[in-house]
Amino acid sequence: MLRVSHLSKTYRNGKAKAIDDINLEIEDGDIYGFIGPNGAGKSTTIKCIVGIHGYEEGEIVFNGIDLKEDPYAFKSQLAYVPDNPDLYEFMTGMAYLDFIANTFRIGKERGELIQKYAKQFGIENDLGSPIKNYSHGMKQKIQIIAAILHQPKLMVLDEPFVGLDPKAAFDLKEIMKDLCAHGTMILFSSHVLEVVEKFCNKIAIIKKGKLIASGSTEEVRGNESLEARFMELFNE
């Protein structure tokens, strides 16, 4: 389980909190959608969870491991896909994936895994090219492959469908479903409400740094569509 308790963060020189008293609980097999308007604090929350940003208040605990007390053990179990994949442009796709595989101590099967996922995403012939020559979508695919190589227990994705072609988006959803079936927790932010509504079993809505709704998808949307509910909450 991932438990985020009373998470608050203020950026340097900021007078207001970027996020305030965020509480989330994600259990094994959950696909948790995180939605909100631009600048609401989705990316900030996500970056705090994966250890990129620090935070002043609150706790982030994953399977009993506190992020601040043992960041190494915490990060060993998670995978992160950012909204803007700024990768090591000086590496080839294969070299980057090899580097990630090394970091997570993946064994000899890494070669097969890389080829399998690269074929699935249609970039098996581009692995030998430098990442600086990749399009945004290709970089996104490389980062997704890097994230799933080590079969993480927690996968955090920030707007993962941006830049993906329809087939790649479908493949990503299938991979996420497969991971969840094996107990992985997934947290992802998105602006595409239809995907979140159909795909996620739990949803949280954030506005101006505060959670305004969270729970199962049925609880959050009620009798309306998610879009209608979102607009209702947004206009309150």
Indicate the residue among 44 and 217 with the shorter CB distance to other proteins. 44
Neighbour tally for 135: CB within 10 Å: 10
**Residues 6+ away with beta carbon under 8 Å from 92:** 127, 128, 129, 130, 131
Indicate the residue among 17 and 221 with the shorter CB distance to other proteins. 17
Helices then strands (H, E): number in the chain? 9, 10
94 makes contact with other proteins (CB under 8 A): yes
Interface positions, 101-120, toward other proteins (CB under 8 A): 101-108, 110-111, 114
Q: Classify the C-alpha dihedral 2-65-146-11 as positive or negative.
A: positive
Whole-number Å distance between alpha carbons of 180 and 22: 24
Per CB under 8 A, the list member of 3, 29, 37, 95 interacting with other proteins is 95
Per CB under 8 A, the list member of 17, 42, 75, 202 interacting with other proteins is 75
Per CB under 8 A, the list member of 23, 133, 135, 225 interacting with other proteins is 133
What six digits make up the tokens of 71?
Answer: 């960041």
Chain positions contacting other proteins, by CB under 8 A: 11-12, 47, 50-54, 71-76, 78, 80, 82, 84, 86-92, 94-95, 97-108, 110-111, 114, 127-130, 132-133
